[in-house]
Chain A
């Protein structure tokens, strides 16, 4: 709806629309006889900007009867201003923390950027902790997050496309990418996916992630969430797209493959030998965390003849007084472990680690002493849990936790055959997944498309000097990211 020329009509419409919103401030004043009307939302604006940049300039220094356009250009000393002509734009801006100024006999309103959201400053990363490397993390302030990324990419090719999503929340979304590196189709696909959403609100990036995922019924995350600006910047350099969601300290990275969930920011800050070893360890840990409980059931219940005799006897003697079947044993310990994990998340951080250790030891040893579970099951559950903690991405770990139960149940019902079947089923599911046109199992599947160069950053992390090419995500003509002279490499 267009603004009126008459200030009173505009005032009346805006006051009626915002009736009952006591946090909205309306201020009427004059500039050399011309009536002005200022609107802003309390506590989400920077007061000093309004006072010094708007009110003082217009009320004290204003000498002539300016219209909106002249005021914008001659009186208001705030960097970001614009003229709008509709009530919707005025109201949206006010609710986002900007200030609207309406002038008598003018159907334009000046929107002045005065956002001053309450913020907790730049925090330290909590879910993606590294020993060596930057410690800063994203905050709930979307604009701050874009700044944190831009600080790391001082390139004119870095583009930030802003728009709003959510009918009622009108959440600010910023899509960031390198214009000459990211594939145009990918960028447009991501933007159109987000713009096509017709939802009430986007409260967090996790919310948006689930809405733009292709296979939302899968437990495996098909987009990557990160709280680390360095990780987001690195992804952008590779040709991926970062989606910054206001009010969320996590940024979405598109696309994402299974391989990416095994990578930690630290992998590139430390020497390649140790980090390659860590990568192998992570893959091994992932396999163990998923398969160990199921394999234990399949072997002890159905095929004890496969276990070396001495070990089989030890397991049998440990289970001699246990009144439950192996599946119940495993489920008891796994559930106890899940509860400890869930409770540990809710507790204050200084207490949670102590609670986890004490709870684990007490429950484990008490359960064994009481004869509820055998000692081997405690080891199996603990090992499976520890292995899951070795993986750097919490969303991926959650998926593995779910899959673990599928394998447990199928192994319990059909022994080793159930175990193999469930493993194949999981592999088939992973093979069927894609993330914005990239196979989920890339580079393990389809690696030939990029001449297998992406294997250099998969199970092993080769020396940085050998990672000259960008991964598959980048445009075809933008594959080279490092160039060295022959002499620098020792004449090779």
Chain B
């Protein structure tokens, strides 16, 4: 009767999901290696890589949207058959769980080290998974709506931070030297790769008639992330300088500490900034759990919703604990190596569908 209760999200909500879920994790992971590679021109790398990723995702969304029937899972099963479809869905399930679990591990560790020493990483992860369980259980619309709210809050917060930080920027550190351009281009590739993990969000593409609009929403969302990250990287480099930024684990977040709030209302602002990151992580975890639970439900038709979400949470938590027990984040960043292969797997069904239609 109305526009809700249909387990679908609008184009705007899709944009919001992408922004809310991936802005946080890319803000943490993207600039770290890029500053090392590109130096003072890291922000250019972030922008170039991000823009390329936005265009890439536009094409991907358009292609996927064009071949989508009622849902991505059904498209896979219809085009690849029972067994190959099962294998593809299982691979996507593991990939999303691993990525979600590893990002959860980063958040849990950040909570322990930056936000609340008394909360152990394990407990932080458990609490986030509990909240994700509740959100995912309520369905796709709930994930879409909370992302819409969170994305607006996060963007407003970021704009506020940028507005008060911008006057103190030292622009001389941001001017790239001619010998840095090679590094900048390498950094752009890194930036592209770090954003490309977000590809699995296409499983949530709304099945509607306006494929171009949906694809444009995806493009816009990644462009917003790109602009925010470029500006954040520029701010971090101008605050710390290139050498100091390289030594920082999370330069964009730690940069907050050097931002003067009007009236000195708050001290240690980076803790507040990590709150924004935690919010993003809540949504990313909920999104991962939701997607994997839907894959489970499409594989095992008779599975109960609560059970599928619980199973998805358990698997995600397992990978999170695995990452936490590693001690460092090398394993976490290692996942980027699988991206190209994953796109091959994810695009298999849309490609087969397209070929069949042309015949």
Contact = CB atoms under 8 A, between A and B. Distances in A.
A432 interface: yes
B145 A431 contact: yes
Give chain B's interface secondary structure class. helix
B110 to A, nearest CB: 10
A219 interface: no
A417 B127 contact: yes
B268 A427 contact: no
Contacts of A483: none
Q: Which of B145, B149, B267 has the most CB of A within 10 A?
A: B145
A420 B118 CA distance: 15
A305 B267 contact: yes
B13 A446 contact: yes
B79 interface: no
A449 B4 CA distance: 10
Given A416-B116, A420-B275, A449-B10, A441 B131 contact: no
A308 B265 contact: yes
Contact of A306 (B2, B139, B271): B271
A431 B131 contact: no
A226 to B, nearest CB: 22
Contacts of B142: 428, 431-432
A234 interface: no
A415 B111 CA distance: 11
B1 A431 contact: no
A434 B5 contact: yes
A415 B138 contact: no
Contacts of A169: none
A444 B148 contact: yes
Interface string B73-87: 000000000000000
A417 B1 contact: no
A421 B119 CA distance: 12
Contacts of A449: 3, 10
Contacts of B134: 425, 428-429
B336 to A, nearest CB: 27
A211 to B, nearest CB: 20
Interface string A309-337: 10000000000000000000000000000
B266 A308 contact: yes
Contacts of B118: 302, 414-415
Contacts of B115: 415-417
Contact of A437 (B3, B127, B148, B271): B3
Q: Which of B1, B111, B124 has the most CB of A within 10 A?
A: B1
Interface in B258-285: 264-268, 271-272, 275, 278-279, 282
Contacts of B2: 183, 185-186, 436-438
A269 B124 CA distance: 49
Interface string B46-61: 0000000000000000
A307 B148 contact: no
Contacts of A189: 1
Contacts, number: 124
A364 interface: no
A307 B272 CA distance: 12
Contact of A307 (B13, B152, B267, B278): B267
B131 A437 contact: no
A193 interface: no
A424 interface: yes
Interface residues on B, range: 35 or more
Nearest to B264: A308
B67 interface: no
A439 B139 CA distance: 13
A265 to B, nearest CB: 26
A445 B275 contact: no
B10 A306 contact: no
A303 interface: yes
B278 A414 contact: no
A303 B264 CA distance: 16
Q: Which of A303, A306, A429, A431 has the most CB of B within 10 A?
A: A431
B144 to A, nearest CB: 8
B135 interface: yes
A424 B282 contact: yes
B268 to A, nearest CB: 5
Contact of A416 (B3, B144, B145, B271): B271
A414 B127 contact: yes
B134 to A, nearest CB: 6
A439 B140 CA distance: 13
Contact of B10 (A302, A432, A441, A446): A446
Interface of B: 1-5, 10-13, 111, 115-116, 118-119, 123-124, 127-128, 131, 134-135, 138-139, 141-142, 144-146, 148-150, 152, 264-268, 271-272, 275, 278-279, 282, 286
27 contacts: A186-B1, A302-B118, A303-B116, A309-B267, A415-B116, A415-B119, A417-B115, A417-B119, A418-B116, A425-B131, A427-B150, A428-B131, A428-B135, A428-B142, A428-B146, A431-B138, A431-B145, A436-B2, A439-B141, A441-B149, A444-B149, A445-B144, A445-B146, A446-B3, A446-B4, A446-B10, A449-B10
The 3 closest A-B pairs by CB, nearest first: A437-B2, A432-B138, A185-B1
Interface of A: 183, 185-186, 189, 302-303, 305-309, 414-418, 420-421, 424-425, 427-429, 431-432, 434, 436-439, 441, 444-446, 448-449, 472
Given A189-B1, A306-B272, A309-B267, 12 more contacts: A307-B266, A414-B127, A421-B131, A428-B134, A428-B142, A432-B135, A432-B145, A439-B141, A445-B13, A445-B149, A446-B148, A448-B10
